[in-house]
């Protein structure tokens, strides 16, 4: 029987919890309010469908909701930077009301970003707003000021608990009703692991039904820990940050939301950026956040399947069709044994290539 482990009861980051096994027989014991990561099971597709009923939305390994290879920061209120970003190849733009705006200019920047949402032509780009954290005086005000013509999603910095995300969900639902927008039509993109508590709670965060993607933040975490760097002498992440990167990846994939890799701060180091993007793509990340326009095309290229990979995936799918007609789902292809997981991976790659081509 396919089973997976899950904690009983609401998440308690500093308290051990009894562990039980869940499967088809007892999945109903785990309501979404318990904050269990959706699809943490290693169960097969039928179990995933059962779990999706329990958690209220379809679960998929790849969370193909929209194309998010490059998510580019635009300082809120900086019209020159917005114009440059609108002419870029970024898939998503993050209109930043947090770190890019001083406390004295928060109100002004909010108004400018609201006007951008109403008047700027974003074309096919996803338009998102990075709000301020809820433990600041500005977080809910950011939502209030930008919901008349809303973004596609809000980027949530420093999320620490499911309760905080539920509070955002409730407020967005109120504002959606007020402005006549569809219920839960606006998503959330998390930048997780930016604080120690947030890092401990990463697996529980995607339980909020609005969450569509999850990234992580090495820079804020290292600042919170009071250390001067998050990388070693060779430029590789130190173990704490490697852990946060992997936990973010696995938690997002388990919950059926897109895993997005963190920023690469040395925007002049194109080779280093390319290497980190290519490694991230091999790990399973679907995109990366950019902080400089020169990073966008490098990121897009790394997270775009090559023509050779697409051709190989199409050939594998065709071979599976033939094998299935012969009653086989495991066979030799190009000198290797292949079975259902290889087919799933090939289909996901082809679907991603089609998304990119259609953009």
Angle of CA points 100, 249, 2, to nearest 5°: 150
Listed residue (306, 345, 294, 307) closest to 70, CA to CA:
294
Listed residue (349, 218, 230, 281) closest to 70, CA to CA:
281
- Per the listing, tokens 């096919």 go with 124
Token readout for 51 is: 């779990």
Listed residue (150, 67, 130, 138) closest to 108, CA to CA:
138
pLDDT by residue for the chain (359 residues), tens only, comes to: 443 444 434 434 433 334 333 343 443 444 443 443 343 333 334 434 443 433 344 433 333 479 999 999 999 999 999 999 999 999 999 999 999 999 999 999 999 999 999 999 999 999 999 999 999 999 999 999 999 999 999 999 999 999 999 999 999 999 999 999 999 999 999 999 999 999 999 999 999 999 999 999 999 999 999 999 999 999 999 999 999 999 999 999 999 999 999 999 999 999 999 999 999 999 999 999 999 999 999 999 999 999 999 999 999 999 999 999 999 999 999 999 999 999 999 999 999 999 999 98
SS3 183: coil
Say if CB 130 and CB 98 are below 8 A apart: yes
Query: What residues pair up with 95 in beta bridges, in sequence order?
Result: 74, 129
The pTM of the full predicted model, rounded to 2 decimals, is: 0.83
Helical axes 293-302 vs 270-283, angle rounded to 10°: 40
Listed residue (217, 192, 355) closest to 286, CA to CA:
355
Token readout for 89 is: 């190849």
CATH superfamily of 70-302: Phosphoenolpyruvate-binding domains (3.20.20.60)
In this prediction, residue 11 carries a pLDDT of 39
Sequence spans of domains, the chain: 4-55, 70-302, 307-358
The DSSP bridge pattern shows strands 4-7 and 19-22 to be antiparallel
Listed residue (129, 200, 207, 131) closest to 166, CA to CA:
207
From the CB of residue 183, how many other CB atoms can be counted at a distance below 10 Å?
9
Say if CB 37 and CB 255 are below 8 A apart: yes
Is the dihedral angle over the CA atoms 275, 85, 72, 236 positive or is it negative? Answer: positive
Chain centroid to Cα 268, Å, comes to 25
């Amino acid at each position: 029987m396919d089973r997976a482990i899950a904690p009983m009861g609401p998440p308690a980051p500093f308290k051990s919890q009894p562990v039980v096994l869940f499967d088809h027989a007892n999945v109903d014991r785990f309501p979404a309010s318990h904050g269990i990561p959706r699809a943490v099971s290693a169960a097969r597709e039928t179990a995933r469908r059962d779990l999706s009923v329990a958690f209220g939305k379809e679960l998929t390994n790849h969370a193909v909701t929209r194309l998010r290879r490059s998510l580019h920061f635009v300082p809120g209120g900086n019209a020159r930077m917005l114009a440059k970003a609108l002419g870029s190849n970024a898939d998503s733009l993050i209109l930043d009301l947090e770190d890019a705006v001083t406390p004295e200019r928060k109100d002004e920047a909010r108004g400018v970003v609201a006007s951008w949402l109403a008047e700027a032509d974003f074309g096919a780009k996803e338009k998102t707003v990075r709000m301020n954290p809820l433990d600041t005086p500005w977080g809910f005000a950011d939502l209030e000021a930008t919901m008349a013509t809303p973004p596609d999603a809000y980027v949530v910095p420093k999320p620490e608990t499911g309760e905080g995300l539920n509070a955002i969900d409730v407020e967005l639902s109120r504002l959606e009703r007020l402005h006549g927008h569809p219920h839960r039509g606006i998503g959330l993109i998390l930048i997780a692991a930016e604080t120690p508590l947030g890092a401990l709670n990463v697996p529980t965060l995607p339980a909020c039904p609005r969450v569509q993607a999850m990234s992580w933040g090495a820079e804020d975490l290292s600042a919170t820990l009071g250390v001067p760097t998050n990388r070693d002498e060779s430029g590789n992440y130190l173990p704490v940050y490697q852990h946060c990167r992997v936990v973010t990846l696995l938690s997002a994939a388990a919950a059926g939301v897109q895993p997005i890799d963190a920023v690469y701060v040395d925007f002049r180091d194109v080779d280093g950026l390319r290497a980190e993007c290519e490694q991230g793509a091999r790990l399973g990340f679907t995109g990366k956040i950019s902080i400089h326009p020169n990073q966008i095309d490098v990121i897009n290229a790394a997270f775009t399947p090559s023509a050779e990979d697409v051709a190989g995936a199409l050939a594998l799918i065709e071979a599976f069709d033939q094998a299935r007609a012969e009653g086989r789902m495991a066979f030799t292809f190009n000198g290797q044994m292949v079975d259902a997981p290889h087919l799933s991976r090939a289909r996901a790659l082809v679907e991603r290539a089609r998304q990119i081509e259609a953009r």
